[in-house]
Structure 1
């Protein structure tokens, strides 16, 4: 999990998308997250994490619903939501946390 610590301990906000390929809502978020990543550029990071390949991490963070979206800033969780979300809301949140 030390790699996870390095991943979230950045000066810019980090949006994590916990997903699986067999979950329709998770798959529906893929193009949304591409749009978000393109819009925020280097002002934030967008990272997808497959819960089936990272089960210990998903268990440690108590990921139950999919997709689960989490924003970290400086190693601290600042926002979390399960379920789909739209690109504009996510972009706005990342911009808010990058200030």
Structure 2
């Protein structure tokens, strides 16, 4: 059984990781789920998509200065290459991932 990677290890090990910082009580955050599902099926293995609940992962939220949710951050080899708060449309997300995939 594979040991569970820490958040930092995951960001550093995968080439592209899209992190959705969200909260259960956030209406716009709920709108992101079908968008992220659509993007995941479109980009496949080009990017790993993970969701971080800011209420359960306060340290990560503070580390990345999350002041509003949803906030999406795209990491490439552990470095932030793109960041945006609010609901992001699937076409824009796919474009950002594909632009950073090479």
- Same fold per superposition (TM over 0.5): yes
Q: 2 CA distance for matches of 1:49 and 1:11?
A: 16
Which residue of the other structure, out of 75, 91, 94, is the alignment partner of 1:91?
Answer: 94
User: Which of 7, 20, 32 is the aligned partner of 1:17?
Assistant: 20
Equivalent residues, number: 98
Contact 1:10 / 1:73 at 8 angstroms: preserved in 2? Answer: no
Contact 2:21–2:70 (CA under 8 A) maintained in structure 1: yes
Cα drift, residue 21 of structure 1: 1.3
The equivalent residue for 1:7 is 10
Moved over 2 A (4+): none
Q: 1:37-94, CA deviations, whole angstroms, 9 ceiling, x for partnerless residues?
A: 1111111111111111101110111101110000000110011111110011001100
Which sections of structure 1, spanning at least 5 residues, go unmatched?
Answer: none
Residue pairs, 1:1-99, within 5 angstroms: 3-99=6-102
In structure 2, C-alpha distance between the alignment counterparts of 1:95 and 1:10, rounded to whole Å? 18
DSSP 3-state at the match of 1:85 = coil
Secondary structure at the aligned position of 1:9 is classed as helix
Separation in structure 2 between the aligned mates of residue 4 and residue 51 of structure 1, nearest angstrom: 13
For the aligned residues, what is the CA RMSD? 1.2
TM-score, normalization by structure 2:
0.91
User: Gaps (5+ residues) in structure 2?
Assistant: none
